[in-house]
Every structure is written in structure tokens, then in C-alpha cells.
């Protein structure tokens, strides 16, 4: 373990990426910069984050200024980074830091994790990088580096838990912030997902997968079970005036609050029924995270509302309603079947 950390740190001292939130050698990092960058990096690449980081720190150079900022202005500068709940939580986080900690970011990961938008990864990252606390943040890069080094063939997502366990059991090197960032940089530059540069890696001599296998085998792919197929019928009903029926989906669950053409519930289908639908040609296919859906599209002129939640809409007003992609496909199918 000593050998591993020492080799990685020596490599980092020579090859680390120059990133705007990192301290110069011998200097300590600005905790606000570390916190801000780690929140931005949660779902976004280093390359994209750099510009946003500059804009944020120019406009709001301190936790206090960010806490006082107008949320809409924050959203505006955040535009393009995606996952906007991060921007909202960041604002709440800054306000809480001012209220409860006098604008100072706490060093203890157990305090950090209670702040809005900060989970196990970010709390460990900020504690280590800003304050040299002995914690190891487990992100995708670190999972890959450690799993390959130890030859752990467990597939994702279970692998993440195993690496988190590994992280808890480590005696973390004194330079814990550098150690964490060294693993991140190694993962990004050398121990890359597709074309790892093993010959340039400082620890290939003791790397289990390099010595005994192919690095690309890790992280192992889970044998994923096939998605079930569901089926239903959707009614694109219009009245004599040419309006169509629409309704709003429930507040919770799949496609929450979005609008839809009314229809039956979607049930797991027998293969025979799928053939019927395919032969009839009046169906659309759509894939969700957890199932495939075949929807038979029926169109007809019909003056009654299917249920009391339905209402009539002019076709050229459909664009005013938030229709999911699925329902856009249904509408296009309905139009095509009229020709």
C-alpha cells in the first residue's frame, strides 16, 4: 500500500493536470473553489467545467457573495451545465454556510454531507482536497483505477460498494487531497476506460489486471437481464370540430405531470399479442429505462371524453402542452394513419 501511494503521488507531482481550482504546489486550496468545482464536476467533465468555474468565481468570488446572489442569475450562469438541481442546491448550500458556519466551509466530512447537494462523494472530495482530511472520494475514475489494480472482477453497480468499502479500510496517506486527485488524474490520463496507457502507469508492475489479464475487462459489464415488454392501446380521439382529447399524467411516477392521449394501462405482454400489433402496423415502439413499450394507436371521431380528466385541444395547440417523446410518436402515427 505504501509503495502504491508513493508511486502514485510521485507520478502526480510530475504529471498532474493544471486545473483552476487546484492550489499551486505548497499552497493550500481555496475551500470555496474546491466545493464549487466538485459540485460542478458531479455530472460534468473537467473540460466543460473549467469555463463555468471561471465565470462563477469571477461573478461570485466568495461563499457570501454566492449566498446573496439572485437564484435566477445563478441559473443563468449555470445554463448549459445541466442538472439544474445542482445550481439550486449550491445556492441553498452557500446560504446555509453563511447562516450556520459564518461562511466558512466545515472540514469534517460528516458535517459536509449534511449540506444541500453534497453526498458521500462530494463530502469526501472536499474534506480531502480542501482540508487534507483522511478520506477517499470514490468517483468513476477511482473505481476503475482501484478495481483494475486489485483485479476486482465484480460488475457495476455492486463494484462501487466494494470500492467504497476498500476506501474506508485504507490508511490514507498524509497528502490525502493529492492522493485523491492523483487517482482521479491517473484514471483520466492513464488508466482510461478504453485505451489505457499501461506502459506509462507508475504502478503497472504491481497491477493485478495488467499482470494477469486485460485492463479493459474491468469494470466488468453486468449481464443485464432483458427488459420486459409492455403493451397498451392509446386513443387519439377527435370530435366533430377536429379537436383531440388530452389528459395530464399523475403527479408521481413515470413521465409525471406530462400530457398524454388517453389510453389503457400498460401491462406486461405475451409475445403473441406483440405479433398482432406488429402485423396491424398501427403501433409505435418506445423504450424506457426499465421496459419496452408497444402501443397500439387507435384513431376515431368520438364526441365523448374517455374520462373526466380529459379535455379537448386544437391540434395546433398541442405544442403548448408538455408532451413526452412517446406521445409525439403517437401523434405522428395517428396523422400518418389518416392518410
Residues 6+ apart with CB under 8 A from 260: 234, 246, 247, 248, 249, 323, 324, 326, 327
CB of 21 vs ligand ADE, minimal distance in Å: 7
Best CA proximity match to 322, nearest among 266, 257, 253, 265: 257
CB of 89 vs ligand ADE, minimal distance in Å: 17
CA atoms within 13 A on the CB side of 208: 12
Residue 38 engages ligand ADE in binding (rule: CB under 6 A): yes
Which residue in 38, 100, 107, 164 is the catalytic one?
38
Residue 100 among the catalytic residues: no
Binder among 4, 7, 23, 46 for ligand ADE (CB under 6 A):
46
The three-state secondary structure class of 260 is strand
CB of 27 vs ligand ADE, minimal distance in Å: 15
Options 58-66, 94-102, 150-158, 179-187: segment touching ligand ADE (CB under 6 A): 179-187
Cα 200-206-208 angle, rounded to 5 deg: 100
Nearer to ligand ADE among residue 33 and residue 333 (C-beta)? 33
List the grid coordinates of 15.
504529471
Taking residue 192's Cβ as centre, other Cβ atoms within 10 Å add up to 15
Nearer to ligand ADE among residue 183 and residue 327 (C-beta)? 183
Residue 178 engages ligand ADE in binding (rule: CB under 6 A): no
Residue 41 engages ligand ADE in binding (rule: CB under 6 A): yes
- Residues 214 and 217: their CA atoms lie apart, in Å, by 6
- Residues 194 and 220: their CA atoms lie apart, in Å, by 13
Options 90-98, 158-166, 178-186, 294-302: segment touching ligand ADE (CB under 6 A): 178-186
Binding site for ligand ADE (CB under 6 A): 19, 38, 41, 46, 125, 129, 139, 181, 184-185
Active site (catalytic) residues? 38
Amino acid at each position: 500500500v505504501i509503495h502504491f501511494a508513493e508511486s502514485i503521488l510521485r507520478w502526480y507531482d510530475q504529471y498532474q493536470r493544471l486545473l483552476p481550482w487546484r492550489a499551486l504546489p505548497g499552497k493550500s486550496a481555496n475551500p470555496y473553489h474546491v466545493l464549487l468545482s466538485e459540485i460542478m464536476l458531479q455530472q460534468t467533465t473537467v473540460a466543460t467545467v473549467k469555463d463555468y468555474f471561471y465565470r462563477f468565481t469571477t461573478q461570485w468570488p466568495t461563499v457570501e457573495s454566492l449566498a446573496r446572489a439572485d437564484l435566477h442569475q445563478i441559473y443563468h450562469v449555470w445554463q448549459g451545465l445541466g442538472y439544474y438541481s445542482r445550481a439550486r442546491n449550491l445556492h441553498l448550500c452557500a446560504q446555509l454556510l453563511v447562516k450556520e458556519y459564518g461562511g466558512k466551509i466545515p472540514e469534517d466530512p460528516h458535517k459536509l454531507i449534511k449540506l444541500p447537494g453534497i453526498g458521500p462523494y462530494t463530502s469526501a472530495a472536499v474534506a480531502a482536497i480542501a482540508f487534507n482530511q483522511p478520506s477517499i472520494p470514490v468517483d468513476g475514475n477511482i473505481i476503475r483505477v482501484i478495481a483494475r489494480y486489485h483485479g476486482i472482477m465484480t460488475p457495476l453497480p455492486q463494484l462501487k460498494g466494494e470500492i467504497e468499502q476498500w476506501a474506508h479500510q485504507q490508511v490514507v496517506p498524509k497528502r490525502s487531497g493529492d492522493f485523491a486527485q492523483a487517482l482521479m488524474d491517473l484514471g483520466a490520463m492513464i488508466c482510461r476506460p478504453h485505451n489505457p496507457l499501461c506502459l506509462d502507469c507508475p504502478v503497472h508492475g504491481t497491477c493485478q489486471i495488467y499482470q494477469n489479464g486485460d485492463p479493459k475487462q474491468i469494470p466488468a459489464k453486468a449481464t443485464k437481464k432483458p427488459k420486459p415488454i409492455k403493451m397498451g392501446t392509446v386513443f387519439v380521439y377527435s370530435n366533430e370540430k377536429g379537436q383531440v382529447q388530452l389528459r395530464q399524467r399523475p403527479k408521481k411516477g413515470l413521465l409525471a405531470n406530462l400530457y398524454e392521449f388517453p389510453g389503457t394501462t400498460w401491462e406486461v405482454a405475451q409475445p403473441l399479442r406483440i405479433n398482432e400489433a406488429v402485423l396491424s402496423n398501427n403501433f409505435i415502439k418506445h423504450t424506457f429505462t426499465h421496459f419496452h413499450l408497444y402501443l397500439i394507436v387507435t384513431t376515431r371521431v368520438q364526441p365523448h371524453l374517455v374520462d373526466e380528466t380529459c379535455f379537448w385541444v386544437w391540434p395546433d395547440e398541442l405544442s403548448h402542452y408538455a408532451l413526452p417523446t412517446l406521445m409525439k410518436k403517437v401523434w405522428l402515427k395517428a396523422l400518418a394513419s389518416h392518410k
